[in-house]
Structures are given as C-alpha cells and as structure tokens.
Amino acid sequence: MSDDGLSGAGNRKTALRLENVGFVWPDTGFELNVADFTLNAGERVLLIGESGAGKSTLLSLICGVLRPDAGSIHIGGTDITALRSSALDRVRADTFGIIFQMFNLLPFASASENVLLPLRFARTRKADAPRDAASDLLIRLGLPEDAVHAKAGTLSVGQQQRVAAARALIGSPPVVIADEPTSALDSATAAEFMALLVQEMTRSNAALLMVSHDERLSVHFDRVVPLDTIARSTRKSVA
C-alpha cells in the first residue's frame, strides 16, 4: 500500500493545507508555528514527535476545535480560519472522523449510539450513512455482535477503540484524525486494530492523519512526518 501513496502524492487533490499557522496556549505560553503542511486526499500520514512537542495541539487546530492566532487552514476549498464558529463546527462534523488515545466514548450511551454521534451534527456525512451502517461497521471492525448495543462503559479498552474507529469512519468523512489510538492497547491488539482500520480506510478512501510513538506502524502509511520538520514549538514564560 505504501508504494502507491508515495508515487501518487504529487498529483492528488489536497485534503487539507496549513500555511504559517501560529498558536499560543494562553495558560502555559506554549507556542506552535507551522510553516507549511499538506495532506492529500486519500493519503495516509504518520505524525511523530516528542512528548509535549505539540502534536495533539496541531490536530486540534486542524480539525477546528482550536482556532489559530495566525495563518490559514484550508479544508477542501475553504479557509476554515475565516469561518464563523457555527460553520466551523459543521465543517468539522462533515470532514473529520476523530479517534483519541483513550476515553473516546460516552460511557452511558450504547456502542452504536456512540458511533452515530457525529451524524447528529454532520450534514453531508448523514446522507452517506445507511441505516444499519453503525452495526455493520462495528462488526467489520471485530466487535462481537452482542456488544453492539451494550453500554460503551462496559466494553474493554480494545473494544472501545474499535467503537471509536467505527465512529470516525461512519458516513465516510474525507479525513480521519487519530491521536495515538493504539497506545493504550497491547501490541497484538494494536496490530489487529491497525490492520482493520487501514482495511476500512481503503474501503472508504479517506485520508488518515495519525499521531503515534510506535514507528513500527509506519508500514501502513504513505509518509512519516516528524513534527519538527514542519513545525517549530517554543515555550514563552507566562507572566
């Protein structure tokens, strides 16, 4: 899979592009500056970097949960930094499937309800999701059938990550963002999870931007990008 991405990267459409983005965390004075970063449609990129370097902060900026202080972030054709916050939230719902390291789910809702959550806020994704898409996805990702309607809080960590993956994939968003999704799993489960995730990514043809410390996972990706090659981070002392 990886050779296909490397050769075709240049003539693909861009999924998203960051230019001269600057962001400062007000409380800690941590500053992140990204000169230029592009993710192509359907491309799989592994983002690596030291702990505290700002990887999670960058993902939050990309999906519009945080707003940059400077620069532009283009998603498809639109600069999301220019959007009103309501429009930005909608773009996020329609564009991104998001998987965290852990604590992805609302523990009091069922697995399938968790999967359907983004459709509650999305517009274009909703049209893409057939009625039983949630349970289909969950089962394809290896969740036991009887766990589909179980409360998310009762599932094992590995099962919870599968539910999170299904939620990121439901309605085929163009970009999936994953922040160390396998770090809470043992290596066997992690490998199985990655294999299934990549299989589904291929199916939906979405781009994947994933953060991980585990460089063995790089076989699944078109590119490996160390954060310090695209961004500069500094820490100002806060008064």
Partner 1 sequence: MSLLRLAFLSLLNRRGTAFLTVFCIALSVALLLGVEKVRNGARASFASTISGTDLIVGSRAGDVQLLLYSVFRIGDATNNVTWESYQEIAKRPEVDWIVPMSLGDSHRGYRVVGTTPDFFTRYQYRKDRALRFSSGVAFDDLFDAVIGADVADALGYSVGSPLVVAHGTASTGSGHDNRPFRVSGILERTGTPVDKAVHVSLEAIEAIHVDWRSGARVEALDIPEARVRAMDLTPKTVTAALVGLKSRIQAFRFQRYINEYEAEPLTAILPGVALTRLWSLVGIAERALSAVSLMVVFTALIGLVSTLLASLQERRREMAILRANGARPLHIAGLLITESGLLTLAGAMLGFAFVYIGLLGLTPWINDRYGLSLEIDLPTAYEWAILAGIAGAGFLAGIIPAWKAYRTSLADGMTIRS
The residue type found at 188 is: A
Residue from the set 43, 113, 200, 222 that interacts with partner 1 by CB under 8 A: 113
Q: How far is the CB of 219 from partner 1 (least distance, A)?
A: 27
Residue type, 148: V
Looking at 35-43, 45-53, 148-156, 190-198, which segment touches ligand ATP (CB under 6 A)? Answer: 45-53
Task: In whole angstroms, give the CA distance from residue 100 to residue 168.
Answer: 10
**Quick check: 230 and 211 in contact, CB under 8 A?**
no
Nearer to ligand ATP, 53 or 147 (CB): 53
Amino acid letter for position 165? A
The closest of 191, 204, 175 to 64, measured between CA atoms, is: 175
Binding segment (CB under 6 A) for ligand ATP, from list 22-30, 67-75, 76-84, 217-225:
22-30
10 Å Cβ neighbour count for 64? 23
Nearest to partner 1 of 34, 59 (CB atom): 59
**Does residue 16 belong to the site contacting partner 1 (CB under 8 A)?**
no
Among 9, 41, 66, 230, contact with partner 1 (rule: CB under 8 A): 66
3-state secondary structure of 190: helix
Nearer to partner 1, 111 or 222 (CB): 111
Q: Does residue 60 belong to the site contacting Mg ion (CB under 5 A)? A: no
| Spatial separation of the C-alpha atoms in residues 156 and 186, rounded to whole Å | 12
Q: Of 66 and 191, which CB lies nearer to partner 1 in the complex structure?
A: 66
Does 225 contact ligand ATP by CB under 6 A?
A: no
**Distance from C-alpha of 93 to C-alpha of 95, rounded to nearest angstrom:** 6
Residues 6 or more apart whose CB falls under 8 angstroms from that of 26 comprise 238
Contact pattern from residue 163 through residue 182 relative to partner 1, giving x for each residue in contact according to CB under 8 A and a dash for the rest: ----x-----------x---
- Pick from 12, 14, 22, 25 the residue near ligand ATP by CB under 6 A: 25
What gap in Å lies between CA 195 and CA 204, rounded to an integer? 14
Q: Does 135 bind Mg ion (CB under 5 A)?
A: no
For binding to ligand ATP (CB under 6 A), which residues are involved? 25, 27-28, 30, 49, 51-57
